[in-house]
Structure 1
Amino acid sequence: MKVLNVSILLILFLSGCVPAVQQPVPLPSEPFLVIAHRGASAYAPAHTFPSYELAIEMGAHYIELDLHRTKDGKLVVLHNDSIELNGHEVEIDEISSDVLSAFKPAEEFNQPTNEYASQKFASLRVPSLEQVLREFGDQTNYYIEIKSPDRYPGIERQLIDQLSDHHLLDRDDPLPKVIIQSFSSDSLKEVHALSPGTPLIQLYSFKKKAKLSPAKLKKVSRYASGIGVNASVVTEHLVNTVHESGLAIHPFTVNEIEQLSSLISMGIDGVFTDKPDLIITSLNQHKSLN
């Protein structure tokens, strides 16, 4: 039986019936990407419409969406796996979207020490992915993180279907309308199988030194277009190694001009930032001097 199976596979291969694995699409080398980390989250509550609207007005190339799924199956946009409601910590996947609607994301933002705090944010609620896509359509680009995918079986298919319904995939745009990222390589590989034309970013976070060998990055390049890594561990050697593997590198989260200048000198391809206006102004000044 094993001989027969091998023979069949050989015949299929020679006849061209075995589909080749599609390589990840490369990200454009220009422009330097400014990715609004949870929107313009220095100035408005993260992952809310005002935060996203500000980021778009400021000229960010992408708005970042962190994705979870409620108990009743809705994809929702917020950062943490859990929230505090009525004095209790509850997991997102253990509550319905109706229960989640009681959570007020502005409460953490509207601290007395925050100069951007405002009561106009008090009525904001956690948006669903559907609400975000309906609100902004194709007027912006989306950099979506699948958070804790092991907790949400099938979230990859659900996400791709929803993006497809809004005609955001497989388009011919200067920049991809959608980039998807995750710390889970298994989740990204699943997305690549479902939508090979969608650029993917493998996320990493290191405490002191980024341990990413050429061999490891070569494996990443089979399904992803780039990596994201905490900015504090980025070195010129790391950037060169990433580029030699055919990958882009987008460090997070950069809010200081000095750090941005250092990273640019290393050759990075874009940054996540809470302050898109600050980064864009600095980039424009950098261009004018060169």
Structure 2
Amino acid sequence: MTQLAVSRKTQSLVVTPAVVAHRGASGYRPEHTLEGYRMAIRMGADDIELDLVATKDGVLVARHESEIGTTTDVADHPEFAHRLTTRTIDGVVLHGWFVEDFTLAELKTLAARERLATLRPDSAAYDGACGIPSFNEVLAMVGAESVLGGRSIGVMAELKHAAYFDSIGLPLDEMLLSDLRRHDLDHPRSRVTVMSFEPTVLRRLAHRTRVAVVQLLEAADKRPADLIAVGDPRTYADLCTREGLAWIDEYADGIGAHKSLVLPRDDSGAISTPSALVREAHRMWLTVHVWTLRRENRFLPLNLRRGAGPGAAGDLAAEAKAFLDAGVDGLITDHPDIVLDVLREADVLRSGGQGSRTA
């Protein structure tokens, strides 16, 4: 049955198991748009998840990453052609247009585009119809939707490329705290969670705010960019050990784990038995969210793929049930409606016919 849990560190209320809309209802609308976030909220998502990067004039905006050539129509704007460039971010060489080279006013002249247009043509039909929102706009919208729907909606905000933005004089944590205070959300019961793949910025924030903090964990063989920069050899697999989780427990309330860290795939590409990660994290009172659940075959384990082609809809519901059985506290998904149906069915079964989760 759906419950409201209280974080032992922040005293913030969290819905468990939670359905978190990854970049909004991004299976149906271009990601990181007010329209996508609003759609997810009205589907019934408990939280929306968004990635934050900084503009040239120091404003947080919602984009998956700093480079925006694939998620906006910037290439169609001749006035910005001279800003096409190449730079290295987190050790990766990228060619395109970058948020930090634009002011907020300039970004507001651009329109969002579907990043996975081949897989999601229905979403791509909305290309050009949605703008790029600032974090302030997202927080204002969530506040309005919370009042309209009569329920508190959570915001899980990921700071992207934090060490890189530090290096160019645009500290994301400073901007985040400023925006939260502007909306009176920098307190332990605000339903705001701040996340990052980089421990450094989270450790810094843990001493400055009491909103919930979640350490994101990539696939086991990868390494946090900030640790690489200082010569720390640890991988995400190292952070999943008891020692690594104890270190995370010093500053975080939970972890956001790549799916493979909780439900590894066997040699055939099918779901295997759960790892010990959820059990070990829960021993330390760390919550566990998993990412990212998507319905297209391309993203599903082999045994849950259905139909022909990578874009065909597979059995996302079965994958969601498998993660619930593994004991996770939150499911981060592009298709919140499908995962919500799974939670509602589980609520009904557990309550003997009357579920507790509302639409």
Partner of 2:300: none
Offset, 1:83: 1.6
Structure-1 separation of matches of 2:155 and 2:121 = 27
Offset, 1:74: 1.3
1:131 to 122, 137, 140: 137
Contact 2:12 2:191 in 1 (8 A): no
Contact 2:12 2:188 in 1 (8 A): no
- Mapping for residues 107-118 of structure 1, pairs under 5 Å: 108=115, 114-118=121-125
2:288 to 236, 249, 267: 249
Deviates more, 1:94-103 or 1:105-114: 105-114
AA paired with 2:218?
A: S
Structure-1 separation of matches of 2:116 and 2:320 = 25
Partner of 1:57: 42
- Mapping for residues 218-229 of structure 1, pairs under 5 Å: 218-229=246-257
1:99 to 100, 106, 111: 106
Offset, 1:259: 1.4
Q: Does 1:230 align with 2:258?
A: yes
Offset, 1:107: 5.1
Aligned residues: 263
Q: Does 1:205 align with 2:265?
A: no
Offset, 1:109: 5.8
Change (3 A) 1:187 1:130: same
Offset, 1:42: 0.4
Partner of 2:193: 179
AA paired with 1:232?
A: S
Change (3 A) 1:113 1:218: closer
Q: Secondary structure at the match of 2:319?
A: helix
Contact 2:188 2:212 in 1 (8 A): no
Partner of 1:144: 157
Q: Secondary structure at the match of 1:194?
A: coil
Deviates more, 1:103-112 or 1:270-279: 103-112
Contact 1:24 1:221 in 2 (8 A): no
Offset, 1:191: 1.1
Structure-2 separation of matches of 1:27 and 1:239 = 21
Change (3 A) 1:113 1:158: closer
Contact 2:216 2:256 in 1 (8 A): yes
Offset, 1:112: 8.9
Partner of 1:189: 203
Change (3 A) 1:274 1:27: same
Structure-1 separation of matches of 2:156 and 2:14 = 17
Change (3 A) 1:288 1:163: same
Partner of 1:12: none
Change (3 A) 1:42 1:135: same
Change (3 A) 1:112 1:28: closer
Structure-2 separation of matches of 1:127 and 1:275 = 21
% same residue: 28
Structure-1 separation of matches of 2:15 and 2:33 = 28
Change (3 A) 1:180 1:239: same
For each residue in 1:209-256, what CA deviation from the matched residue of structure 2 results, as whole angstroms up to 9, or x when unmatched? 944111111111111000011112213411111111220110001131
Change (3 A) 1:113 1:95: closer
Larger Rg: 1
For each residue in 1:58-106, what CA deviation from the matched residue of structure 2 results, as whole angstroms up to 9, or x when unmatched? 1111111210001111111110221223373122222222332343212
Normalising by structure 2, report the TM-score: 0.68
Structure-1 separation of matches of 2:124 and 2:97 = 26
AA paired with 1:179?
A: T
Change (3 A) 1:238 1:116: same
Structure-2 separation of matches of 1:268 and 1:227 = 10
Q: Does 1:37 align with 2:15?
A: no
Partner of 2:245: 217
Offset, 1:39: 0.5
Alignment RMSD (CA, Å): 2.3
